Chain A
């Protein structure tokens, strides 16, 4: 078996290979580490690699496999977004503020996946504190899109998406506060799932906006996402907002039969603002689903146009408080020689945080200030309920809502960096899903001028299964998800 076959195999396939002892976890891990070595210099997708630790876990996995004691992901190499706290392994959140931060604890997602036997290879680059849609805000430098090194990979889970597309690992984790799994998945041509808010524990995930943050898997197939979600999900006593619901076996329950499935197409997404090429790709994917037995129904999400404004009040407001703990007192970056307390705060935070993070802290602080609370934060909370209600009503008519994952394909570096609003528009199709707490998924829908584009499927609360089923069927009927970037120019 060639490295290249191994490196682009799905988790489901690798599981079989490992089980059959056709390949060992150690070989697989070595192949991934080799690929990281060969490609990361060009891509900058990974902040921290832990080869010894990974090989040690791989050997432990191999001995478990030999004894027939394997778990659902035993021996599968994985990269975590660097927002998940990993015990003993530096966790930066893409920020200078946490450049040297080594947690003494694992995030629940990390420990759950560890318990399922994964082999952690390292930590992926990301927008600083998950604030960004292009991976240009990382203190550790931009991540390059493997499909075109002059373009962004999307964000904030851009390192995860790029690493996956490059074959550095068959499975990666991300977090999605306003589109941070789905948009980079779309821009890098992989499958990414943002579960329902509360499905996956947030404990140990460095908080950006607590009422919106949700962790999820990114993989080469919907089937792999189903496997990973089953491993990650579940009630956690350490996260009061995690849902006390049983976790279905999403993988075992995958059902490609879409007969009778009703898919809603919001008029507000498929309006004149939608890029014609994106529309063509999304419609092509939807007609595949139609062929498979689904029906397409026009629906309304009348308050969609408020989503960006609402999100950019609530998310920065929560972030302004969540990021207050980075004050240079107990951990994280501390400025040199502070002259007094105010100087310590001022310089530690001005030097430790990048521009976008500071912008959002300022916006959020403003939105919560006396005299503005009702006009901004309170109003945004009300609109959030209205947007949620739009979805609830729509789901009385349909089982799944579909749309584009992003307004276009990957764009060149710097194209939107000077215009925050243009950057915020990247998430125009994804933000509302976070506001409503719904599950959303992006699956590849082909290429535009050689660059990938994604179809977004949105589900009812805690009904990840239905959107996974639809994506799975699409991946049976088409090969868009198997398209790979040409890595010859990258590999050193």
Chain B
């Protein structure tokens, strides 16, 4: 049978505020257990939440970033359930009236086309702590450092029809939130966690099949693999005449399978009701406009500008723009060297290669935008051949100074002096009478091939520094004069 996959995503995004959503505790990653949990985070008797205004601003930024409607009066609710790492026995979330209402997010696909995803809502909530099962024998440790970390839960409509679309959405979302500066989007540290709601239906059918929810997938690659694996599982069941059980599943990356997380098929009753300890968040148009004024240029607009103003291809723009730091790097280089295409080529080629090999971000690149621009200037003015330029690049990566310093220290300057070149050409011709004779006897087509010998000899003599264009012209002229 021909199955169509239907998916909606829920992303839990950790907001990059200084402190927690309802307490003054720090949210720094990696502190010793419970060092970043105060009386509020511990749910001590009599403690009350106080809303972090920064979290509200970040949520509004996100809403504006996807062109969503901002709820003018959003309300916090208590979501009640017992778990040892949930200190109060309820999570403060937004159920009835979220801060970000319906919106539309345009996701760029690899071919440069845009794919619209409907955002259902995004709401603010607090994260729970962590249960640590593997540190103690017969006991579970509770670490409440994460409890109260501000989260924005972003929910989409079931608009995804392929794993590629889902991954493209997550990458675009990651790009957007880093542009907005509201999250580091770091999936491996849990700053961005993805739940996938997934069901299958016969191609052409309008009704949705029974869905499962895969919880807490924490990398782009795992999202893709989890979807494929769950697709296979559901298709197998349906094709053998079975039915899908609505349940929560976990993706096991090692085995590449999804596993049922809760054995019992009971819908949790969270008994949501408005949180009486917090006032509704009232947002007026002045506030919205003030936040809007702080929005940076967002990825979509930047892609358009990079293609029109710098003449980049859609493909190059789509590679550079999603990484905000890389886009900034690109623009700094272009401002200094005024050569956008070579800049893009260097950044996407050698620079990205070196950054990936060394696992550093572009913002920590040992080659600054100034230095890369200096290199490109020396290529453009003919000082460096592309071969020499690669040497200079490697030397700069190793910290040997800027382009001109490397050229001077290594004596890498391209020989473009015509009398110097002429002398070298004359010497090689004089030392290679046989090859000259062969050359002269050959026809046009063969001559081109034979000239390679002379170029090689001269390059060897010049240690690769001969200007290739000048050399070619000079050699041709001299050889022809031999006849």
Contacts and interface: CB of A to CB of B under 8 A. Distances in A.
Contact of B48 (A209, A211, A240): A240
A331 B50 CA distance: 22
Interface stretch (A49-57, A362-370, A455-463): A362-370
Given A210-B276, A324-B80, A238 B87 contact: no
A98 B267 CA distance: 33
A345 B81 CA distance: 12
* Majority-rule SS of A interface residues: loop
B271 A365 contact: yes
Nearest to A324: B89
A327 B82 contact: yes
B271 A205 contact: no
B51 interface: yes
Contact of B90 (A84, A206, A239, A324): A324
B273 A107 contact: no
Given A210-B277, A321-B80, A91 B269 contact: no
A377 B78 CA distance: 13
B273 A317 contact: yes
B80 A325 contact: no
Interface in B254-276: 267, 269, 271-273, 276
A338 to B, nearest CB: 11
A239 B48 contact: yes
A204 B50 contact: no
B409 interface: no
Interface string A308-348: 00000000011011011101011100000000010001000
A48 interface: no
Interface in B35-50: 39, 42-50
Nearest to A345: B82
A240 B49 contact: yes
Interface string B11-42: 00000000000000000000000000001001
Contacts of A203: 46-48
Given A85-B45, A98-B45, A325 B273 contact: no
B279 interface: yes
Given A105-B39, A210-B276, A330 B45 contact: no
Interface residues of A, number: 43
Contacts of B45: 85, 91, 93, 98, 101, 103, 206-207, 325, 331
Interface residues of B, number: 29
B326 interface: no
A104 interface: yes
Contacts of B82: 324, 327, 345
Interface in B62-120: 78, 80, 82, 84, 87-90
A370 B269 contact: yes
B52 to A, nearest CB: 12
Nearest to A341: B84
A351 to B, nearest CB: 16
Interface in A35-91: 84-85, 91
B271 A369 contact: yes
Interface in B356-378: none
A344 to B, nearest CB: 8
A237 B40 CA distance: 14
B142 interface: yes
B355 interface: no
B278 interface: yes
Which of B46, B89, B277, B278 is the most central at the interface, judged by chain A CB atoms within 10 Å of its CB?
B46
Given A103-B46, A206-B45, A329-B84, A241 B279 contact: yes
Contact of B273 (A85, A321, A324): A321
A182 interface: no
Contacts of A104: 39, 44
Closest 3 CB pairs of A and B: A324-B89, A368-B271, A210-B276
Interface of A: 84-85, 91, 93, 98, 101, 103-105, 107, 202-207, 209-211, 237-241, 317-318, 320-321, 323-325, 327, 329-331, 341, 345, 365, 368-370, 373, 377
Given A238-B48, A321-B271, 10 more contacts: A98-B45, A202-B48, A239-B50, A324-B80, A324-B82, A324-B88, A330-B42, A331-B45, A370-B267, A373-B271
22 contacts: A93-B45, A203-B47, A204-B47, A205-B46, A207-B45, A210-B277, A237-B50, A238-B50, A240-B50, A240-B277, A240-B278, A241-B277, A324-B88, A325-B43, A325-B89, A327-B82, A327-B84, A329-B142, A345-B82, A365-B271, A368-B271, A370-B271
